[in-house]
Each structure stands twice: as C-alpha cells, then as structure tokens.
Structure 1
C-alpha cells in the first residue's frame, strides 16, 4: 500500500523549509501512488492478484538495485537490524497482497476508505499493546473512523464481499508494521527497509501465485503497464521523501487522505466508476477522524 513509507521518512525538517511546499509535494506524491494503484487495478482485469503483485515487486526491486548501483551504495540496501526489517517486511508483504486483491474486487475509492482506518487502528493498537494513552479527541477520532467507513459502505444497503475483508485485514497488518517501526533504530536506512520489503515480497508473492491461481501468460501491454507501475511506485517514494524532509510530519501525513480524491478521479476516468454522495460523506468523516487522532 502507498502509505507504507510515512513513518520511515519522518525526519526532522530544516527550519528554513516551507510546510506549504511540503504539502504540495505530498499531494503530488499521493497522486502518483494512486496512479500506480489504478494501474494495478487495470492489470487485475486480466491477471491474478498475486501475479501482478509479484511483477510490480520485481520491477521495483530491479529499479532500486540499479539506482543504488549507479550511486555506488549497494551496501546501504543491507539492513543493520535484519530481525526487525524482515518482520516488518512480512507484515507489509501480506498487506500488499491483500490490498492488491481488494483492488481487483473493489472500486479504488472503497479500498482507500478502508485503508484510511490505519490511523485509528494504530491508535487503538498502541493503547492495547504498548500502553499509550489517548486523548479524548483521539478516542473520538477512533469512533468517527468506523462511523465513516460504515456510512461509505452502507453494509445494510450494499453487498459486502471478500474484497472488503481483504482490505480490512491488510490495514490491520499495515498498522502492526507501523508499531514495529516504533522499535526501529535510527541507524537503519530507509533504503534498507524498502529493499528488505521487496526481497521478502518476491518469494512470498511467487509462492502465493503458484499455490492459488498459478501464473498467466503476459503480453507486451501487460509488461509495459507493470514497468510503469513500478516506476510510479518508486517516484512516489522519492516525492514523499522530499515532502517529509521539507516540512513537519504532522503537516505532511494527513495528506494521505487526498488519495480518496485521486481514487475517485482515476476510478471515473479508467473504470467509469460512479461516485455517490455516501462515499464522499464517509470520506469526509474519515478525514476528520484522522485529523483528531493526529491531534
């Protein structure tokens, strides 16, 4: 999922940098991430979910290796704390496979709405597992987050399917991976964490593909879309790095919620997916909930 890099890149910004510039860069980053998600959904029309997870992961890994080799910094891809890096990678690998499966079955806007429960799940899990204390506003945000998803999905009026379950479980895995980052050492590089994730995801998605649907034949168009998706993924990470270096994390992080706008836009343009008022209302409630949790 695109928001995976948020905690990794939250370095202290330089005092001379502008939060306004950082916000604009973050909006662009999440637009790029959403474009990659839309292409993944496009691939899912013809290919099984585990297969396009495998393909885009390999493309991302090859690009990252080429980038590190060109800079003469291949050693930076090796984690100094492999236990933590691998544990986090396993959680995020499962998260990616499940959310890609959700993209196959759900409109992008619905998948995003469920993914936007991440801030409230992190708040709840931090309270339950780490003993963190939440303010009254944060607890209000937790409640509003679930209200927002209920409003958007209207479980009594719209049929729920396995895609909704996959999206929710992926969000739980992602939230747990964020808790692991609380134990990450400052000396661990972002490149090492991303490289470990891609290395772990490659065999994980391969085994999942072979044991479930198998591998399907790919044509030139499929390969082209997969390569573009991998490029967009790395471009999104680079933009997000720039945003977190330029501005305060508390300013940049909430712009993840702009993905609901991009999801609706890409869904309408590429898949003729309608946007109903319940989706908009639920999105607004979830945005409010995330803002309260961040308070």
Structure 2
C-alpha cells in the first residue's frame, strides 16, 4: 500500500472504532438503566435498518439475497458479538471488556490464513501471540476471571470471525447492502430474545438508543469499506486502537481505570498490535 492509501485505511478503521465504542458506551448506559442487553442489541440493529433503508439504494432482487446462507451466517456473527459485549458490559469495566475482546484480531488472523489463504509471517504471528498474552493478563483465566470477561472473550471470537466473513464477502456485494443485510437479519435473529418488560422510554433513553444504533452502523460501514481496500490480516491490527478509545471513554463516562495487571495487559496488547502493523507493512 502507498503511504496516502495506508493513511486512508487507518483513518477509516480508527474512525469506525470511535463510533463503535461510543455506541457501546450508550448501550451500557441503557443496560445500567434496566434495559435488557438483548433489547439494546435488537434496537441497535432494527433502528439502524429503518434509518438507513432509504439511503441504502436497494436494487432489484437484492432483498432475495438476504436468504443467502453466507449473509445470514455473517449477520449472526455480528449479532452474537454485540449481544455478548453488551452482556459483558453489564458487570465489567469498559477497558477490561475490550481487552478481553481483543482475542478477536488473533482469531481473524488465523482464520484469514486458513480460509482466505492470506499471507502469514513469523514476526506477525509472534507479535499476535504476545498480544494474546496481554489478553490473558486482562481476563486472568483461573485467577479472578468472571463470567462477564468470559462474554468479552466470546464477543472477540464472534467479531474476529465476522471480520473474516466480511473480507470474504466484501468483493461480492455492495458495502451499503452488506451493512443493510446484517442489520435486517440481525434484528430478526435477536427479536425473540428482546421481548422483556422495559423501563419508560424517556427522551434521553431514545437518544442513547439512537447513538448506540447509528454509532455501530456507521462504524461497521466504514469497516466494510476498509475491508474492500485491504486484507483482513492488515485491518485486524488496526482494531487495537479500540483499546485506547475504550480506556479513555471508560474514564470520561464512568470514572473507571483498569487495575495494574489489566493495565499491563492492555499495554502489551497495544504494543504488540503496533508491532504487528509495522510487520504487515514490511511484508508488503
């Protein structure tokens, strides 16, 4: 990639991360107020589908494509990821949830090599293994790991698989249609789980639902565009910027700060991620 092109890819992915983490902040505020995480996930998909439908530019016959197994599988991956991370955020700090979530780039890198035959290098493999060590410091398996952090890991597995599925399908469908397909299918899949008594829908709550839905939708649209422009194994390390954003947002919105071990783990993940970006550039 040329320097200017690489900068555009970085800007798209980092912008996507800011929007997605902002959507999760709004989602956490909703679950803290008594809304079910499944309702919040469903509302995120359904509202975004309604708002974006007029600008998606649906073409003749595209609605039938929603029944394609590959599109349904991809949508279920992102629906599972969002439901899992909202479940984790009910009990855990924002930064540590995203630390556990960062098993995702490792999953993405491995699956990209296996199924998409993308290039694997020893330096990037070693750095991603180091980042996995950072994930273990955050989630502390066997030494204080909680169910919430387990859901954070599950969200990472879902999301890493979703990134590879997006790369796999990005060349076959329009980006706006790919986004619309996951919103429609995700809202249908989550609807049965979303049925639950709800608190009163006051104006602030409607605002949080809107922020949660549109932040996630626009962020994922940017990711689709980025995945059309670069390999999933290149995109994956850039997702590490999410940790910095989550740590800052966790402090600003919830007054949270990770403990010393988790903070060390986050630093390891970020450092290894930055090294992986450098290694990817050297391999080009």
- When normalised by structure 1's length, the TM-score is 0.78
Per the TM alignment, residue 101 of structure 1 is displaced from its structure 2 partner at its CA by 1.0
Matched, 1:268 2:251: yes
Q: Which residue of 2 aligns with 1:44?
A: 31
Per the TM alignment, residue 60 of structure 1 is displaced from its structure 2 partner at its CA by 0.7
Per the TM alignment, residue 147 of structure 1 is displaced from its structure 2 partner at its CA by 0.8
The counterpart of 2:125, out of the listed 123, 131, 139, is 139
Aligned length: 274
> Structure 1 regions of 5+ residues with no counterpart?
1-12
Residues 119-160 of structure 1: CA deviation (Å, up to 9, x unaligned): 212233455667777432233134212210122234465x32
Per the TM alignment, residue 61 of structure 1 is displaced from its structure 2 partner at its CA by 0.7
Q: Which residue of 2 aligns with 1:292?
A: 276
The counterpart of 1:92, out of the listed 39, 63, 78, is 78
Distance 1:264 1:163 in 2: 17
Alpha-carbon spacing, 1:188–1:246, altered in 2? closer, same or farther (3 Å): closer
Residues 64-114 of structure 1: CA deviation (Å, up to 9, x unaligned): 11323xxxx222864488221112112222222112211222211111112
> Structure 2 regions of 5+ residues with no counterpart?
none
Three-state SS of the structure 2 residue aligned to 1:187 is coil
- When normalised by structure 2's length, the TM-score is 0.81
Distance 1:53 1:277 in 2: 31
Q: Which residue of 1 aligns with 2:139?
A: 153
Q: Is the 8 A contact 2:108 2:233 kept in 1?
A: no
Matched, 1:54 2:42: yes
Q: Which residue of 1 aligns with 2:200?
A: 218
Q: Is the 8 A contact 1:268 1:274 kept in 2?
A: yes
Distance 2:170 2:14 in 1: 28
Q: Which residue of 1 aligns with 2:107?
A: 121
Three-state SS of the structure 1 residue aligned to 2:240 is helix
Q: Which residue of 1 aligns with 2:190?
A: 205
RMSD: 3.3
